[in-house]
Chains A and B, each alone.
Chain A
Amino acid sequence: MSTRERFQQTMGDVRTAPAVELRGVSHLYGRRETAVRALDNVDVQFATGSWTAVMGPSGSGKSTLLHCAAGLERVTEGQVIIAGQDISAASDAELTELRRGPVGFVFQSFNLIASLTAAQNVAMPLRLAGRRPGRQEVHGALAAVGLADRARHRPRELSGGQQQRVAVARAMVTRPAVLFADEPTGALDTRAARSLLDLLRSMVDHNGQTIVMVTHDPAAAATADRVLFLRDGRLVDRLERPSARAVADLLASWDA
C-alpha cells in the first residue's frame, strides 16, 4: 500500500463504513452523587484499515474509551457500533460472540495463560469458539509475529517482547475486524517496543487491519495514522500522520 493510498484510507473513505463508531457516548463511574463522568458525549469513528492512537493525561478517560468501544464496559449513554452492530445493549452472550470474532485485545500486561504453551494460547480463542484449530492456522499466526520456532514454549520461557507477540498472534488468529491495544508497549524495553510497533504497522499496511491503541508514549503514537487527544472525558484535539515531536509538543501544550 502506498503512502498515498494509506492517506486516503486514513482520512476516511465515505463509501466504507467505519470499523467502530461511537455516537454520543458517555460513561459514568460510581453512584449518582459521587459519579465521575469518565467519558462525556464522545463522537468518534475508527475507519476500517486505519490505526488510531488515543492519548491523554492519567484520568482523561482514554482507557474507558477503549473499554467502551470494545464492549468491555457498558456505556451510560450513547451507542457503540462495531462492524455494523450496535453493542450498547448487547447481552453477555452476544458480547462473548463479539470477543470471539470481530474484536481482539492486546494489553500492557501480556495476559497469557501461564499453564499453556504459546501455540495453545494462540489456539484458545478458536477452541473457545468451538472450532478445532488447524496446525496451519495457529502456526501461521505465530509465524506472522515471527515466533514460529517458539510454539511449544510456555510464557515464562519467553521474553517480554516475545510474550507480547504471542498476545498479538492470539488476538489476530480470529481475524478480528478491529484490534484494541491498551499500552501494548508499556511493559517493553525500547527495542522490543519498536519491533512490536513495526509489526502492528505492517499489519495495518499489508492486511488492512484496524487498530485502536491507547498509549502515553509519543514515539508509539507517532507510528499510528492519527492521534486523538482526550482530556476530562472529551476529545480535545487530533493529529493526522503525526511525528513524535509533534505529539510531544501537543502533549506539553496541554500540560501547560
Chain B
Amino acid sequence: MLRLSWSTFRDRWQVFIGAIVTVALGVALVQSSLLTLISAATARVPAGLSSAEAHRVRDGRDGALALLGNTLGLATFVAVFIVSSTFAFTVVQRYRELALLRLVGASRRQVRRLLFGEALLLGLVGSGLGVLAGLPVMRLQVWLLIRLDLLPDGFTSAWRTWVIGASVGAGVLIAVCGVAAASGRAARVRPLAALREAGGDARLMTVSRWLLGVVFLGGGIALLVIVPHVGPDAAIAMALCSCIVLVVAVAAFTPLLLPAASLLPRLFAVGPLGRLAHANLRADTRRGAATAAPIIVLFTFVIGMAGSLGTLGAAARHETASGLRADLVVTANQEMTARLAAVDGVAVVSEETPVAFDLGSVEDGKMTYESSDGLSVSPAEYGRTHRLAPRSGDLADLHGDTVAVLGSHWDVGDVLRTRIAGTPRDLRVVARYPATISGPQFLLPAGLGVERTDSRRYTIQVASGAFAAAVADRLRDAGLGRDGTVDTAAGWVRHEASDRQRVNTNVMVGLLALAMVYTVVAMVNAVVVAASSRGREFATARLSGLTRTQVIRMALWESTALVAVGLFLGGLTASATILSLVGAVQRIVGVTIVSVPWTLIGAVALGSLAVVGMTSVLTALAATRTPPVRLAGTRE
C-alpha cells in the first residue's frame, strides 16, 4: 500500500503542495519555538544586574515563554486544521480513484492505509523541509522577541540535535491527525462510485461531523459562559481558547451555514454572471466550505484577538482613569516626596513604587517561592489620591508586616508567606479589594524594604483653588522635572495605556502574523485545488456561450462572495468571544466597553480578497487555456 501511496503522492504532488508547505511551516515553528523556549527557560539571569533589571529580564522572559507556548499550540492547531481540510478535499476529488481501488479488491482498511501512507510521506517530506526552514525561522523569532523587549540583547537560542526527532515526530503527527477524518470518509467510498460521473454525492454533514461540531460548539459556549467569571488574566487566555474551539465548530458546521450565509452576497448577485456564480456557490457546498474554512479561521483569530485585547486595553484605561483622584503624576528615579510636597499648591503627594517580592506556597511539603509584583504605598496618601472601595478591612492598617490584596482568594486576617530581600517575612492581610484589570495585585506598606523594579511614581493632588497646569509648571521650575517627568493625570493614563497597548499589539502581531501566513497558504491551496477540478465545468460554461473573460469574472465573483461569507462567519465567531470578554470587563470595571478593530478588519478583508481573488483569476486563466470542446467531454 505504501508503494501506491508513493506513486499517488509523486503523481499528485501539486495537490499536496499546500499541505506540505503547511506541515513544513508548522514543523519549522514548532522546532524554533521549542528550541527558543528551552534556551529561554534555562538561561540564567546574568549576574551583576540590579534587582530592577533582573526583574525586567525575568518579566520579559515570562512574556517570551508565554508567547512561545502559544505559538507552539497555535502552529500545531492551524497545521492540523489545514492539512485535514486539504485531505478532506482530495478525498472528494479522488472519489472515483478510491472506488476503483475498492473495485479491484481493496478492503476498507487498505484504503485507509493508503491515505495514512500518503499522510506519512507528506509528513516526512514536510518535516524534512521544516527542519531546514526552522533554522532561519528561529533566527527571525529570536530577533523578533528581542525587538519586542521580551528577550535580552545578545540572546541566542542553542541548537539541540534531538530536536530533529521532535520535529519529524511533530510533522508526521500533524499529517496523520490531519488525515484521520478523511480516511474514515474514504473507507466508506463504495466500489460502484467508480462508475458514476460525480462521486461527491455523499452526505456532507456526516455523523462524525455533527458530533465534532456539537462537541466543540458545546465546549466553546461553556468557555464563553465561564470567561466573565474568571479573573482578568485567565479571561484573555480563555477567550483565545474559545476562539480556537469555536472555529472548529463553525468549520464543522460550514456546509450547513454556507447556504444560509451565501444569502448575504445573493443581494449583490446582479446580472447573469452574478446569478450563475451564486448558483455555483450554493450547488458545490463542499468546495465552498473548503475555501471558506481558512478565511473563517483568519477572521476569527484576527477580529477575536484584536477585539479582545483592544477591549481589555480600553477597559484598563478606563479603570486607571476612574480610579485615580490625582491631578498630576510625576515619575522619577529618586525619592522626592518632601521636595514635591514643598512646592506651592501641592496638597497631597502619594509615593507609589512598583516592587517585586517572592510569594511562597507549600508544594509537596516544601516551600516554593514565585516572584510577584506589588505596589509599595503610604496608605493615608494613597487612599486620598485613589478611589478605593475595600470588600473588607481597612487600608489604614497597612503598616508593619502587612499587605492589602486585590482580587485574590485571601481574606483579611490571612497570612501571606513571603520572602523580601532574601529573608522570609509573614505578611498579614489587612484589606481586600476587588480584582483589577491593570493591577496591582498587592499593596505593600512603604518601608518594608521590598526591591524596587521600576521608577517611583508620585500621584499628586493640588490644593483647592490651585490650577493643575500652574502647579505642574512650578514643579518643572523647581527642577523636579529634571530627574523625572511631570504629567497631568489624564496624560499619564494615556501614556500608560498606549504603553500597554504597544506590548499587547506586539504580542498580537507575533501570533497573528503566524496565523495570517498559515491561512494565506491554506486559502491559495484551497483555491488551486478547487480550480484544478473545474476545467470541465468552465468548459461547459464556455460552450453555453460564456467568453473566457466572463468565466474568469464568474470565478472572481465566487471568491469575493466566499471572502464575504468567511468574514461574516468569522466575525460572528469572534463577536461571541469579544462579547464574553465584554462581560468579564463589565463584572470587573462595571462599565460596558467594546473595542472593535475596524482598521485591522478592513485591512485583513482587503488582503484576503486580493489573495483569493488573484489566485482564482490565475487558476481560472490556467483552467480555460485549452479550447472548451476538448475539455467538456473528458473526465477529471
Question: Residues of A with Cβ closer than 8 Å to B?
Answer: 67, 72-73, 92-93, 96, 99-100, 105, 107, 109, 111, 113-116, 120, 124-125, 127-129, 170, 174, 182
B106 within 8 A of A: yes
Q: Which residues of B contact A100 (CB under 8 A)?
A: 105
Closest B residue to A114 by beta carbon equals: B11
Is B273 part of the binding interface, using a Cβ–Cβ cutoff of 8 Å?
no
**A85 CB, nearest partner CB in chain B, Å:** 16
| Closest Cβ–Cβ distance, residue A94 to chain B (whole Å) | 11
28 sample A-B contacts, Cβ–Cβ < 8 Å, listed by A number: A67-B192, A72-B192, A92-B108, A93-B107, A96-B105, A96-B108, A99-B103, A99-B104, A99-B105, A105-B104, A107-B194, A107-B195, A111-B100, A111-B194, A113-B100, A113-B101, A114-B11, A115-B8, A115-B10, A115-B11, A115-B12, A116-B7, A125-B104, A127-B4, A128-B101, A128-B107, A128-B110, A129-B105
Residue B426 interfacial (CB < 8 Å): no
Contact check, B106 vs A128: say whether CB atoms are below 8 A apart.
yes
Chain A neighbourhood of B191, CB < 8 A = 72, 99
Residues of chain A contacted by B106 (CB below 8 angstroms): 96, 128
Closest chain A residue to B105, Cβ basis: A100
List A contacts of B394 (CB < 8 A): none
Q: Interface readout for B589-601 with A: 1 if CB under 8 Å, 0 if not?
A: 0000000000000
Give complex CA distance A235, B576 in Å. Answer: 63
Chain B contacts for A72, CB-based, 8 A: 103, 190-192
Smallest CB gap from B108: residue in A = A92
Residues of B within 8 A of A (CB): 3-4, 7-8, 10-12, 97, 100-108, 110, 190-192, 194-195, 635
Partner of B195, one of A116, A128, A182: A182
**Closest Cβ–Cβ distance, residue A30 to chain B (whole Å):** 14
| Cβ distance B233 to chain A, nearest Cβ, rounded Å | 53
Residues of B within 8 A of A92 (CB): 107-108
Which of B105, B194, B195 has the most CB atoms of chain A within a 10 A radius of its CB?
A: B105
Evaluate contact between B104 and A128: CB separation under 8 angstroms. Answer: yes
Complex partner residue of A128 from B7, B105, B635, CB under 8 angstroms: B105
CB-contact partner of B4 in A67, A105, A116, A125, under 8 A: A116
Q: Which residue of A lies closest to B194 (CB)?
A: A111
What are the 10 closest A-B residue pairs judged by CB atoms, nearest first?
A115-B11, A100-B105, A128-B105, A115-B7, A99-B105, A96-B107, A72-B192, A125-B105, A125-B104, A128-B106
Contact B103 A105 (CB under 8 A): yes
A121 closest partner in B (C-beta):
B104
Q: What residue of chain A has the Cβ atom nearest to residue B197's Cβ?
A: A109
How far is it, in angstroms, between the C-alpha of A96 and the C-alpha of B104 when the chains are bound?
8
User: A-B contact count, CB below 8 Å?
Assistant: 62
Q: Which residues of B contact A96 (CB under 8 A)?
A: 102, 105-108
User: Which residue of chain B has its CB nearest to the CB of A154?
Assistant: B11
When C-beta atoms are compared, the residue in chain A nearest to B10 turns out to be A115
Bound-state CA distance A2–B100 (Å) is 37
A111 to B191, CA, bound (A): 12
Residues of B within 8 A of A120 (CB): 7
What distance in Å separates the Cβ of A119 from its nearest Cβ neighbour in chain B? 12
Complex interface: chain A residues within 8 A of B103 (CB):
72, 99, 105, 111
**Chain A residues whose CB sits within 8 angstroms of the CB of B4 once the complex forms:** 113, 116, 124, 127
State the CA gap A149–B107 with chains docked (Å): 31
A129 to B1, CA, bound (A): 11
Across the interface, which residues of B come within 8 angstroms of A99, CB to CB? 102-105, 191
Given contacts A93-B107, A107-B194, 4 further A-B contacts (CB under 8 A): A92-B108, A113-B97, A127-B4, A128-B110
User: Measured between alpha carbons, how far is A20 from B104 in the docked complex, in Å?
Assistant: 19
The answer to whether A170 touches B104, judged by C-beta atoms less than 8 angstroms apart, is: yes
CA distance A128 to B523 in the complex (A): 36
Complex: A125 Cα to B191 Cα, angstroms? 14
A214 nearest CB across to chain B (Å): 11
Closest to A98 in B: B105
Nearest B residue to A115, CB-CB: B11
**Chain B residues whose C-beta falls within 8 Å of the C-beta of A129 in the assembled complex:** 105
Of all chain B residues, the one with the shortest Cβ separation from A101 is B105
- Chain B residues with CB under 8 Å of A105's CB are 103-104
| Least CB separation from A93: chain B residue | B107
Q: Could you say which residues of chain B place their CB within 8 Å of the CB of A113? A: 4, 97, 100-101
Q: Is the CB of A73 within 8 A of B104?
A: no
Residues in A whose Cβ lies below 8 Å from that of B107: 92-93, 96, 128
Chain A: minimal CB distance from B6 (Å): 9
Check A109 against B104 for contact (C-beta < 8 Å): no
Residues of A contacting B7 with CB < 8 Å? 115-116, 120
Distance of B110 from chain A, by nearest CB (Å): 6
CB-defined contacts of B105 to chain A, threshold 8 Å: 96, 99-100, 124-125, 128-129, 174
Q: Which residues of A contact B195 (CB under 8 A)?
A: 107, 109, 182
A92 to B106 alpha-carbon distance, docked (Å): 11
Q: Roughly how many angstroms separate A105 CA and B105 CA in the complex, as a whole number?
A: 10
**B residues near A111, Cβ cutoff 8 Å:** 100, 103, 194
Residues of B within 8 Å of A174, CB to CB, are 105
* B-chain residues with CB within 8 Å of residue A116 when the two chains form the complex: 4, 7
Expressed in whole angstroms, the Cα–Cα distance for A114 and B12 within the complex equals 10
Which chain A residues border B110 with CB–CB below 8 Å? 128
Identify the interface centre among A111, A129, A174: most chain B CB within 10 Å of its CB. Answer: A111
Residues of A within 8 A of B101 (CB): 113, 124, 128
Chain A residues in 8 Å Cβ range of B12: 115
How many Å lie between the Cα of A134 and that of B549 in the bound state? 54
Complex contacts, B635 vs chain A, CB 8 Å: 109
> Given the complex of chains A and B, what is the CA–CA distance between A115 and B3 in angstroms?
11
Nearest Cβ in chain B — how far from A51, in angstroms?
Answer: 21
Cβ-closest chain A residue relative to B106: A128
Q: Which residue of B has the minimal Cβ distance to A66?
A: B195
A96 to B108, CA, bound (A): 9
What separation, in Å, do the CA atoms of A91 and B105 have in the docked complex?
Answer: 14
**In the bound complex, how far is the Cα of B335 from the Cα of A29, in angstroms?**
91
Q: Nearest-CB distance from A231 to chain B (Å)?
A: 22
Complex CA–CA separation, A148 to B173 (angstroms): 43
User: A111 to B105, alpha carbons, bound, how many Å?
Assistant: 14
Per the bound structure, the CA–CA distance linking A114 and B10 in Å amounts to 11
Chain B residues with CB under 8 A of A125 = 104-105
- Distance between Cα atoms of A99 and B11 in the complex (Å): 26
Provide the bound-state CA to CA distance between A251 and B67, in Å: 77
Chain A contacts for B100, CB-based, 8 A = 111, 113
B554 to chain A minimum Cβ distance, whole angstroms, is 29
| Minimal beta-carbon separation of A80 from chain B (angstroms) | 15
The answer to whether B104 touches A124, judged by C-beta atoms less than 8 angstroms apart, is: yes
Write out the residue numbers on chain A whose beta carbons fall within 8 Å of the beta carbon of B104: 99, 105, 124-125, 128, 170
- Once bound together, how far apart are the Cα atoms of A127 and B107, in whole Å? 12
CA distance A73 to B193 in the complex (A): 11
Give, as a whole number of angstroms, the nearest-CB distance from B343 to chain A: 85
Contacts of B97 in A (CB 8 A): 113-114
Report the minimal beta-carbon distance from B186 to chain A, rounded to whole angstroms.
Answer: 14
Contacts of B194 in A (CB 8 A): 107, 111
- Give Cα distance in the complex from A111 to B11, angstroms: 16
- Complex Cα gap A109–B99 (Å): 13
Give the Cβ gap from B11 to chain A, nearest Cβ, in Å: 4
Residue of A nearest to B12 (CB): A115
Who on chain A is nearest to B100 by CB?
A: A111
Min CB–CB distance B594 → chain A (angstroms): 50
A114 neighbours in B (Cβ, 8 Å): 11, 97
Note all chain B residues with C-beta closer than 8 A to A124: 4, 101, 104-105
Nearest B residue to A116 via CB reads B7
Contacts of B11 in A (CB 8 A): 114-115
Q: A134 → chain B, closest Cβ, in Å?
A: 16
Residues of A with C-beta under 8 A to B102: 96, 99
Residues in B whose Cβ lies below 8 Å from that of A127: 3-4
B254 to chain A, nearest CB (A): 28
**Complex-state Cα separation, A107 to B103, whole angstroms:** 11
Q: Collect the chain B residues with CB atoms within 8 Å of residue A115's CB.
A: 7-8, 10-12
Q: How near does chain B come to A76, taking the closest CB pair, in angstroms? A: 15
Q: Give Cα A109 to B106, complex, Å.
A: 19
